[in-house]
Structure 1
Amino acid sequence: MSSIPRLPDELTVAHVAGIIAASMVVIRLLCPAVITYIMAGQLKDTETASTWTLASASLVSSIWPTLLRTDSARSGGGVRTTIMVACKAIPLLGLMCAIAGVVTPLGLGEEPTALAPRTATFEYVKDDSVYRLGTSPRGKHPLSRLCNGEHLGGSAVVGPCPYSNTEVVYVDNPDRSGFRVELPNGYNTSVPQEPREIFSSGISGSTVSSFFDIEWRQVTRQTSPSFNITELAVGMFRPLDTLTLQDQYRLVEGLIIDAKAGGIGFRNHTVPVALGRGATWEEDILFIEPSTACVNTNLTLDFEMISKSDKISNTVGDLVLTDRGGFSQLNTTLPTLESVDGQTDPDLQQRAYTAAWLNNAVTMLYLNVTNEKNKPVKGMKSFSYLDSAPGKTFPMPVAAYSRERYEGLRLSTEFGNYLRLGAEAPSLSRGALNYSNPFNISKADFTDIPSICAGTTYRDRANISNIYVACGLLRGAPERVDGGDPMLFEKGSKWSSPLYTCASSLRATIKTVHFSVNGTGIAGLNVLRVAPKTYAADGSDAPLWGLEDWGLRLDQFSPIWGLVSPEMAKKPNVTSVRKPHFNLIGTSIEAGLPSLLNLEDTQSDNLAGASFAQTVMNTVFKVVAEASDADTWGVWPTDLKGLGNLSMFRRWQALSQDSALVPQIINLMWTNIAASAVVGTRGVLGEVNSGINPAGPIPVRPIGNRITYDVRYGIPAALLLSWLGVIVVAAVCCSTCCGGGRTGFAELRRRIQQVSVGRVFTTFLHPEESTLTMSAKQWAQENGKRPIMVDAFASNASKLYTGSATLAIRAVEFLNRRAI
């Protein structure tokens, strides 16, 4: 049986109740004992019969007979067993009652609980963090949109956007030196009402944000000479905070940030008011989240740390590429990517595997580990020989004055970058590199891998099937392999970095977010849990996602998307799909890259929902790339590589050693940047600053208290109740079965009168006037005031003195003689 736990250092109401109960038990014992002590001192040898009766009841029932071991506390001899058991049980039950009265309340507790749902009034809650301080005022910068036309002569030119009345005229120059663009009526950058109605039609009355509720967090104005625009609202970027180490849901101005798995939800934060102790409720929220799959190439980059000198700026020596099965155990069958609907299954795992296979195969050709078809002998099959084995190393070049830092993580769209093809003259890690490169592998042979993996280029149509996928080579944070301090890059230490290929896509989805509020400000608003919204097995109630489809290419415009109603889905130039998720459209291939996020450049327009997610992912694959771009990027405004931030390095190091966890690195990087880039402007109250299209009534559950109990504290009470049950059963049995049915209140009254001290005395002394069966009222009237002197003489205990009614007697002998 579990022991009763001790009281905690901090007392609760239940513990105080137990202490009070214990105090009352002590008082219950102490007060009668003190009173009877005083009463005993007030009694005289001669008192009336009623006085002796009343005093004896109090004296015998007090604790003094037990403490002083008087006659009534001793069983003596000749006592009938049943009577002795009953007499002993009474104080034991009293003790159990005292224990139960003290211990039982200790198990009481209370916890907050949600009460019945009710409607509530919501109001905006301000975020006091840097995210609000870094957010431009809403409503002052209108949405703006720019688009490109056809590529004439290989150059991108101005083009009208869909739904726009912009007229663009291309005029050839008279000298045939090219052409010029004329805008007779100027360039209209506004977003018309028609696309707003179409691509917001599926969110009416809900808390789900639309495409147009996603805005750049920071907005400025600039000129656009190529579009002949003197002032245009455009997005800008400045990193606000680092979230990759928090591993929690965080609420900031306009966003719900999932720093656990990656992703951001769009919500202008509001809370229910006038609910006293707070409330819980749930809302459906639009999330955009990255989805990544990574494949281990089974290759590692291993190196030793060396000291810097005046002649060499790098700190890495003995850099080698180690075959961990990536060469020697390569499946020689060329993988293929099936042509599938990108909205059904992006198949990121197969994309990443294809990229890994191509990366390893081309590297093997460069290192002459194997051969390609028809080389070196015509008719020779690919992989006819294999000059590698698990554990074999291949020295890699290290640039003499490279800014490359192997102490951190690296992610790049440049596959085979460890070979440094086309880079500056290397300072060799050991010996001289003597790779014959018999198949003339160059940097260009690796450049097609991202396109093959992504499957979509800037020349493809912007339709619902051509989803965004970014692919790259990830060099994990190095792990120390010589048994030394895993955090210390000391001279002579040896390290190993795994190489992975990763494919990332982006999707919009709806999740149910469970909120609670208990306090003021955004600090009092909490996310209890986030769960994907569930739908019917046949998907009939899944969201209907729409995309504008004008037959344009991805380098001409970024299409508007969003939740649409079935009626709007039938509109011209709108394609739709009913799915739980919507994979965003776009391309990550260099020629089609949207502007990257940095401190120098602004975005081209102010329509964040069309391109922010893709732009952020392109930034992730760029800012963690090699540091030959350090003049522009360095460690970027935020140290995403873990070069200077030890906590960041430790987190990446833990994730880098497990291929199942590696995708989190990219997902969290994307989330970290995206949180600073955009803000959601819709909440329960509708669109911020306008209140247009508010959500319907949101049921909330106010917080109340629920009584709890720790059953361990109820053990004494349970035992007491079981004893009570036994006693009740015994009483019933005695009333109906025992003693010929004599047990009852009349019999009980007679037995009490038989042991009433005053009545026994008067009946013995005045038998003609007092009996043991006369009523209490009659006895009190006729005998209660008779004076009785009780004395004891050791020499002659049975001698009777008359005159003043003096008595020295043994009650048991008297009762036996009277045959009562």
Structure 2
Amino acid sequence: MVVTLNELDVADVSGMIAAAVAVVQIFIPLALPLILLGVLRDEHAGATTTSAVSWSVIGRFLHGSRWPTLLAADSASIRGVPWHVVFITRMKTILALLTAIAAVVTPLGLYQAIIEDDDWTENVSFHYIRDPSEFGWGTPPRVNLPWSRICGAFLPVECPNSFSNVTNFFNETGEYIQVSNYNSHVPQYVIDAFQSGLEHMEDSVSSIFDIQSRSYSWQLINDHPGAAVPDNGQTYPVDDFRMISSNILADDYLAIEGLVIDMKNGGIGFRNHSAPPQTPYGSTWSEDLLFIEPESQCVDTNLTLDFSLPRFTSEATSSISHLVLTDRGGFANLNLSYPNYTNTNTQRDPQLWDRAYKGAWLNNVISMAYLNVTNPRNTSDPDSEPFTYLNSHVGKQFPLMNENGIFSAPLTISVDGLFLSSSYGSYLDTSWVFSTPEISNFSFPNTTSYKPLYENPFNITASNFTSASIACAGKWSGDNANLDNFVANCGMLYGAPIRTDNKSSSIVFEPGSNWSMPLYSCIMTAKATIKRVTFRFNGTDDLSAIKVTEINHKVYPDEESMPLWGVERSDKNLSDVRLLWGLISSPDQGNISLHTLRQESLYLPGFDPTLGFSTTGGYQNLPGSEFYIRGIGSVFSMKYDSNLPDYTGKMNLAMYHRWQELSKAANTASKILDLIWTDVSSNAVVGTRGLHGARLQGYSSSSMSEPSSNTPAVKFMQRRVRYHWEYAVPALIVLILTAVIAFVTLLFAIIGRANMTRLRQYLNKTSQGRILTTHLYGQKGGTVAQEPHTLRPRSTRRWVENVGKNPVTVAEGNNDFLVIDGPQASQPRPLLQENLQKGPAAAHDQEK
């Protein structure tokens, strides 16, 4: 891998400089001795003459270099040398090598980091920051927009805690409704009640009345004769929906205009964005935010739709061929016991998995009856028993295409996408019910008449599968709107198909390839909770500089410190009213009757989750009570909803591939629903409460509030030098050895075995010049008597003046003998030249 100069950091450059210095430190001690040898001149036959003191200097310089070790000279020998001398002398080389390595490696661990400065924490004023992204451009400015509330699914119904006057009466001709006044306004005391709990929260926490529709419009007056006209014919605001952008593949925490969105797990937090003052290196802080998050559970039906792609597309009548329903144990291994779950105290134990399992079980049982795999109970015969036979086994396939290659069920199966349906059993054609096979022919336009694939002996229809949806959700439109009946929708997730022939990647659609689509029973709901969100602000003074670093569930020390949630108490049906909910200060809220609950989160009330977001506009302006319901409806109708982006993956191969990975198991498949809900809902609503004095929308006022005086503690970032300690290992070894050496040195100094006097003696004893002059001149060449019977080394100055300047000739004789000569030697010697010619033996004889 080639590293360019632009990729180097300060640590790398420091290491390179240290390496260059180490090379120079090695090269110069090796080169200078060679230069010295070039300066010294041999007189003849390898003999060199210079002063005695020069021999000391030359010896120190040559033996102090690395050449003795490299050339295995005498001074580097270990034979005949005591082990402690060898050990100490070798430590010098080892430490020099380690020091060179440490000098190069140690700087590589240096780096600069921007960190939180715990010593610089302040409570500062926050200011609004705009969103420069498409969400900022696509969100209309907030105006004086009062709340509006309309109740009644088909006929006008008086909303809870409203000033409307709606009367129901009966006579012999039927039921009638008389509307003397229909007031869409939400009373201020109601708004105050559902914002009262904020006084126990941080200033950043929103209420249901801090949630506004991202897009809005105004309702036209209904001038139809006899129609109930709200607000005496005045126009009133309604929510609206326009898709702005999609973040479905972000897999991150994002801050957009009015929201914090969790595209890792699903969920949106409400915040009108603001930030502390800018600093050179940024800042970080944490806030409590109101979150609404989806919660989904999926159960594997152990059924799959398997098919292949046509080998010749020009001859294909469908995009897929050989479509079959395969029993992976959903029929053959069915648990014959009817599943039940308790529907009491649903807020604390919603039993979502049990609900989804019940939907899967009913889907399989009804499908088995349709396919005549087994028999249901005959309700007209009290003695009849279900499941008296079983015509299936694991791996058995049930064809779903006729001989013309036509799939007659309501679904449109494709190889390049997943989809969801709020209807169970949509892979079967339940629109036909036949009493006898003779009348079962049916003609499609431009096709040949054919018989249906299955006789459907028990007359199974779509209404039978609808019962599975109701049993899973646990409620119906006529049930009472209350705390326990939280919003939920059930249906089937048809996972992204995966290749089963293992011949190539699962995103290559080869003709003739085989594919399998898993079928899951899923339930989806939504809940409100408080989460702790950590922000980092650095860069330009707009929302692009805010990074959401963490989103965590808020931790409470005990139950008493948990939020107190309130939900309107009502005698209305679920289909007629969207209940208000929120954080309250106490169960007693004056004129408002409430269901209350103290816990971490609240499963939100509601019904009609099949109704998704629509660009045709809503009917009221109370998004906090219904956007999450429409979000669930959009998820389960995404296959057919033209108001939304393509979430099937058909138009986005990256999305399709991600859905494939999540579709492999039921526990990960539920995440698909949560992410789609989050992406759609983030385009539908916006939060209006912020620490900078955000708009607190109410009935009679839309002015800006005072900026928060209770802002979170902000930690300002500072640049600091940091170090990767693994690069310090060589330096730590050198440091430890240095400490050991220092300790031993100090020890010998204390006991008197290592001092300057003794060191000077050993330096003189091992001096090359003194050894030579002692050899030539005897005692006067090395020591001098100062007192009787006392000899001590001459000082360097006196030794140089006496004999150190005398020239000494050193040559190499035969058999590695050294020949030494000098003027005024203590014993007469023959000429050097003669000794060199005759050899060491002759010289020895002459000395005798």
TM range (shorter): 0.7 to 0.9
Q: CA deviation at 1:543?
A: 1.4
Tell me, in whole angstroms, the C-alpha distance in 1 between the residues paired with 2:411 and 2:520.
Answer: 22
Trace 1:663-742 onto structure 2 (pairs within 5 A).
663-688=670-695, 690-692=704-706, 694=708, 696-705=710-719, 707-735=721-749, 741=752
Q: Aligned partner of 2:240: which letter?
A: M
Where does residue 106 of structure 2 map in the other structure? Answer: 104
Q: 1:21 to 1:142 in 2, by over 3 A?
A: same
Q: CA deviation at 1:71?
A: 9.8
Where does residue 610 of structure 1 map in the other structure? Answer: 625
Where does residue 547 of structure 2 map in the other structure? Answer: 526
Q: 1:89 to 1:301 in 2, by over 3 A?
A: closer
Q: Aligned partner of 1:258: which letter?
A: D
Contact 1:298 1:325 in 2 (8 A): yes
Q: CA deviation at 1:606?
A: 1.8
Where does residue 295 of structure 1 map in the other structure? Answer: 299
Where does residue 203 of structure 1 map in the other structure? Answer: 198
Q: CA deviation at 1:434?
A: 5.8
Q: CA deviation at 1:256?
A: 1.9
Contact 1:33 1:62 in 2 (8 A): no
Tell me, in whole angstroms, the C-alpha distance in 1 between the residues paired with 2:714 and 2:81.
Answer: 70
Classify the secondary structure of the residue corresponding to 2:805: strand
Match of 2:487 among 447, 468, 473: 468
Tell me, in whole angstroms, the C-alpha distance in 2 between the residues paired with 1:74 and 1:317.
Answer: 86
Match of 1:20 among 17, 20, 23: 17
The two structures, once aligned, show a CA RMSD in angstroms of 4.6
Q: CA deviation at 1:467?
A: 0.9
Q: 1:782 to 1:649 in 2, by over 3 A?
A: closer
Contact 1:642 1:649 in 2 (8 A): yes
Tell me, in whole angstroms, the C-alpha distance in 2 between the residues paired with 1:297 and 1:430.
Answer: 33
Where does residue 441 of structure 1 map in the other structure? Answer: 460
575-584 or 435-444: bigger deviation: 435-444
Where does residue 259 of structure 1 map in the other structure? Answer: 263
495-504 or 603-612: bigger deviation: 495-504
Match of 1:647 among 649, 654, 677: 654
Tell me, in whole angstroms, the C-alpha distance in 1 between the residues paired with 2:704 and 2:171.
Answer: 48
Contact 2:623 2:685 in 1 (8 A): yes
Classify the secondary structure of the residue corresponding to 1:414: coil
Q: CA deviation at 1:280?
A: 3.0
Q: CA deviation at 1:361?
A: 2.5
Classify the secondary structure of the residue corresponding to 1:660: helix
Q: 1:211 to 1:785 in 2, by over 3 A?
A: farther
763-772 or 350-359: bigger deviation: 763-772
Deviation track 1:442-490 (CA, whole Å, cap 9, x = no partner) reads 3333333322322233333322111111111232233344555543555
Where does residue 345 of structure 1 map in the other structure? Answer: 349
Where does residue 797 of structure 1 map in the other structure? Answer: 821
Tell me, in whole angstroms, the C-alpha distance in 1 between the residues paired with 2:516 and 2:51.
Answer: 105
Match of 1:144 among 122, 144, 147: 147
Contact 1:548 1:561 in 2 (8 A): yes
Tell me, in whole angstroms, the C-alpha distance in 1 between the residues paired with 2:331 and 2:34.
Answer: 100
Tell me, in whole angstroms, the C-alpha distance in 1 between the residues paired with 2:723 and 2:554.
Answer: 35
Classify the secondary structure of the residue corresponding to 1:328: coil
Trace 1:363-374 onto structure 2 (pairs within 5 A).
363-374=367-378
Trace 1:571-650 onto structure 2 (pairs within 5 A).
572-588=592-608, 596-599=612-615, 601-624=616-639, 633=641, 636-650=643-657
Classify the secondary structure of the residue corresponding to 2:573: coil
Q: Aligned partner of 1:144: which letter?
A: W
13-22 or 291-300: bigger deviation: 13-22
Contact 1:314 1:401 in 2 (8 A): no
Contact 2:566 2:587 in 1 (8 A): no
Q: 1:616 to 1:306 in 2, by over 3 A?
A: same
Classify the secondary structure of the residue corresponding to 2:666: coil
TM-score (norm: length of structure 1)? 0.80
Contact 1:294 1:503 in 2 (8 A): yes
Q: CA deviation at 1:231?
A: 2.5
Tell me, in whole angstroms, the C-alpha distance in 1 between the residues paired with 2:532 and 2:323.
Answer: 49
Classify the secondary structure of the residue corresponding to 1:322: strand
Q: CA deviation at 1:684?
A: 3.0
Q: Aligned partner of 2:586: which letter?
A: P
Where does residue 334 of structure 2 map in the other structure? Answer: 330
Match of 1:223 among 212, 215, 220: 220
Classify the secondary structure of the residue corresponding to 1:132: helix
Return 5+ residue gaps in structure 1 as ranges: 628-632, 803-807, 809-820
504-513 or 332-341: bigger deviation: 332-341
Tell me, in whole angstroms, the C-alpha distance in 1 between the residues paired with 2:570 and 2:381.
Answer: 51
Q: CA deviation at 1:619?
A: 1.9
Contact 1:475 1:498 in 2 (8 A): yes
Contact 1:515 1:529 in 2 (8 A): yes
Tell me, in whole angstroms, the C-alpha distance in 2 between the residues paired with 1:47 and 1:456.
Answer: 113
Q: 1:224 to 1:662 in 2, by over 3 A?
A: farther
Q: Aligned partner of 1:617: which letter?
A: I
Q: Aligned partner of 1:747: which letter?
A: R
Trace 1:73-472 onto structure 2 (pairs within 5 A).
90=92, 93-116=95-118, 118-121=121-124, 122-138=126-142, 140-148=143-151, 155-157=154-156, 159=158, 161-167=159-165, 181-183=179-181, 188-204=183-199, 205-225=202-222, 226-227=229-230, 228-306=232-310, 314-374=318-378, 379-396=383-400, 398=406, 404-407=412-415, 408-422=417-431, 432-433=451-452, 435-472=454-491
Where does residue 630 of structure 1 map in the other structure? Answer: none
Tell me, in whole angstroms, the C-alpha distance in 2 between the residues paired with 1:175 and 1:722.
Answer: 104
Q: Aligned partner of 1:181: which letter?
A: V
Tell me, in whole angstroms, the C-alpha distance in 2 between the residues paired with 1:42 and 1:302.
Answer: 92
Tell me, in whole angstroms, the C-alpha distance in 2 between the residues paired with 1:559 and 1:365.
Answer: 40
Return 5+ residue gaps in structure 2 as ranges: 42-47, 223-228, 434-441, 696-702, 812-818, 827-831, 833-848
Tell me, in whole angstroms, the C-alpha distance in 2 between the residues paired with 1:746 and 1:219.
Answer: 98
Q: CA deviation at 1:257?
A: 1.8
TM-score (norm: length of structure 2)? 0.78
Q: 1:759 to 1:371 in 2, by over 3 A?
A: closer
Where does residue 811 of structure 1 map in the other structure? Answer: none
Q: 1:402 to 1:658 in 2, by over 3 A?
A: closer
Tell me, in whole angstroms, the C-alpha distance in 2 between the residues paired with 1:767 and 1:404.
Answer: 113
Where does residue 699 of structure 2 map in the other structure? Answer: none
Q: CA deviation at 1:87?
A: 5.6
Q: 1:248 to 1:749 in 2, by over 3 A?
A: same
Contact 1:46 1:789 in 2 (8 A): no
Question: How many residues are aligned here?
Answer: 770
Classify the secondary structure of the residue corresponding to 2:107: helix
667-676 or 715-724: bigger deviation: 715-724
Contact 2:147 2:237 in 1 (8 A): yes
Tell me, in whole angstroms, the C-alpha distance in 2 between the residues paired with 1:271 and 1:33.
Answer: 63
Classify the secondary structure of the residue corresponding to 1:448: helix
Tell me, in whole angstroms, the C-alpha distance in 1 between the residues paired with 2:335 and 2:521.
Answer: 16
281-290 or 294-303: bigger deviation: 294-303
Q: 1:63 to 1:230 in 2, by over 3 A?
A: same
Q: Aligned partner of 2:758: which letter?
A: E
Deviation track 1:621-640 (CA, whole Å, cap 9, x = no partner) reads 2233xx5xxxxx35x53112
Q: 1:371 to 1:111 in 2, by over 3 A?
A: same
Q: Aligned partner of 2:823: which letter?
A: K
Q: Aligned partner of 1:597: which letter?
A: F
Classify the secondary structure of the residue corresponding to 2:667: coil
Classify the secondary structure of the residue corresponding to 2:395: coil
761-770 or 699-708: bigger deviation: 761-770
Tell me, in whole angstroms, the C-alpha distance in 1 between the residues paired with 2:715 and 2:123.
Answer: 9
Where does residue 11 of structure 1 map in the other structure? Answer: 8
Tell me, in whole angstroms, the C-alpha distance in 2 between the residues paired with 1:711 and 1:86.
Answer: 29
Where does residue 845 of structure 2 map in the other structure? Answer: none
